[in-house]
Structure formats: structure tokens, C-alpha cells
Amino acid sequence: QSVLTQPPSASGTPGQRVTVSCSGSSSNIADNTVNWYQHLPGTAPKLLIHSDNQRPSGVPARFSGSKSGTSASLAISGLQSEDEADYYCASWDDSLDGYVFGTGTKVTVL
Amino acid sequence: QVQLVESGGGVVQPGRSLRLSCAASGFIFSNYGIHWVRQAPGKGLEWVASIWHDGSNKNYADSVRGRFIISRDNSKKTVYMKMNSLRIEDAGIYYCARGHEVGNSLDYWGQGTLVTVSS
């Protein structure tokens, strides 16, 4: 029962733009930064976006993040087959005094 | 290069204990907090616990508070998680990850260790 809500799935054809939403509250997203992780089951999760909209070195520019109020979004522009994975938003929650992950979104490349 | 290697997973009966280890290399270990994150079969990522760089502060998810204990030995560059009173729902892959103060993000992750809780 995560406090950050994501759609269970999203999809697009190669080259399309796909967005993944993350809905939280005043105790997490509104007051703390949002991070996004890419996860292929059985492998180590990978940090994709930190500090709401910053890409770590080596992450392609087609990945971008944004935040407004209690919600955040991840956008993948120019979708590629290798982008097929599970994506999670995450943030610190001041009420829980812990880190929280979103429910996760499976992105499928059609 | 930064490396985190988990170990200690295995098969354990409900109610028993297990200790996981996370061995780090490739960075100044004593400067970073470490987190444990798990993924139950067919489920999403769940944050479990974290410990500050010097061990002075520890945080736990409600689901494990009072049963799990996180600790670290900076001289051995290792973080531990003692898991007591294990439940069926504690089964899954356990990852350790380095905490980065920038954005409070988890910037490097290990490959995970599998914990199976079964009678």
C-alpha cells in the first residue's frame, strides 16, 4: 500500500513520447525531491532522474522529469525498445520518516 | 568503480532469523548512507531501512520496525541487516543501495540477494 500512486502500465510505439505520472501528498512529493528508477526484473534498479528533473551522467537525454505540487512525471521521448522496463518514482516522506516508492509502471514498447 | 555486493540470503522458516550483508568498494564508504530495498515476488520495490554514514541515525519501514536491525562497520565497509521474526511476506530479493545526499537518491545498487521464507 504505497503512498505514491502510479498507473500500472503505459505503452507506445518506437519513437513516440510516453509519460508516467506519480501522485503523492504534502508529506512527500510537495516537500521533498522526487527520484525515478528504471528496473528490469532480476537486475539492479538504476537511478534515472534525481532532484525532480536532473539526469545522472550516462542517462540519455530522452528521459526527463518534472514536478508540480504533489505530483511528478517522467517522460520518455523517442521511445526505444530498450526502454521496456518497470519505472518507479520515489521520495522521502516526512510523516513516515522513511523513503517511499511508487506503485510502479510497466512501460511496454509496442 | 562503485560496487555493492549483497550476501546472506537463503531459505529460512517463519519466525527464524537471518543476517544480510552489503559489502562496498570503490568509494569512501564512511561518507555515505546505505539503504535496503526489497522486492517481493510479483510486487514492486519497497524501501526497508536506511542508516546514516556514521551509523548515528537509522530509519525503518513500518512493516519491519521492531523486527529488523540495520547496522554498519565502517572499518569493514559493510552494512548489515539482522532480520528477526521473519514472516512469509518478508520473502523477496533484497537490494542494498548507496544513498546520495543530492536529491536524497539511491545512486548505486547491488545485484540483490534472495530471501525465501517457507516452512
Would the pLDDT of B103 be above 80? no
The band of A38, judged by pLDDT with boundaries at 50, 70 and 90, is very high
pLDDT of residue A2: 79
Q: How distant is the Cα of A99 from the closest Cα of chain B, in angstroms?
A: 6
> Residues in chain B whose beta carbon is closer than 8 A to a beta carbon of chain A?
35, 37, 39, 44-47, 50, 59-62, 95, 97, 100, 102-112
B44/A43 CB distance under 8 A: no
pLDDT (average), residues B58-75 = 97
Chain B residues touching A46 at Cβ < 8 A: 109
- List the single residue in A32, A44, A51 with the smallest CB-CB distance to B110: A44
B44/A35 CB distance under 8 A: no
pLDDT (average), residues A11-35 = 97
Query: What residues have CB less than 8 Å from A7, skipping those under 6 apart?
Result: A20, A21, A105
Residues 20..49 of A with a Cβ closer than 8 Å to B: which?
32-33, 35, 37, 39, 41, 43-47
Q: Tell me the per-residue pLDDT of A85-100, one tens digit each, with 9 for 90 and over.
A: 999 999 999 999 999 9
Pairing of strands B18-25, B78-83: antiparallel
Q: Across all residues in chain B, what is the average pLDDT? A: 96
Alpha-carbon dihedral A42, A67, A100, A12, rounded to 10 degrees: -30
pLDDT (average), residues B26-50 = 97
pLDDT of residue A20: 98
Chain A residues touching B103 at Cβ < 8 A: 33, 35, 50-52, 54
Chain B residues touching A102 at Cβ < 8 A: 44
The band of B102, judged by pLDDT with boundaries at 50, 70 and 90, is confident
Pick among A88, A99, A106 to test the B interface (most B CBs inside 10 A)? A99
A104 and A7 in contact (C-beta within 8 Å)? no
The band of A41, judged by pLDDT with boundaries at 50, 70 and 90, is confident
A33/B103 CB distance under 8 A: yes
Would the pLDDT of A31 be above 90? yes
Q: Which residue of A has its CA nearest to B93?
A: A42
User: Which is higher by pLDDT, A73 or B101?
Assistant: A73
Cα–Cα separations (whole angstroms), residue B9 to A40, A51, A106: 20, 32, 27
A47/B106 CB distance under 8 A: yes
pLDDT of residue B8: 97
pLDDT of residue B101: 80
pLDDT (average), residues B97-107 = 90
From the list A4, A1, A2, the residue with the least C-alpha distance to A67 is A4
Q: Tell me the per-residue pLDDT of B68-92, one tens digit each, with 9 for 90 and over.
A: 999 999 999 999 999 999 999 999 9
The band of A1, judged by pLDDT with boundaries at 50, 70 and 90, is low
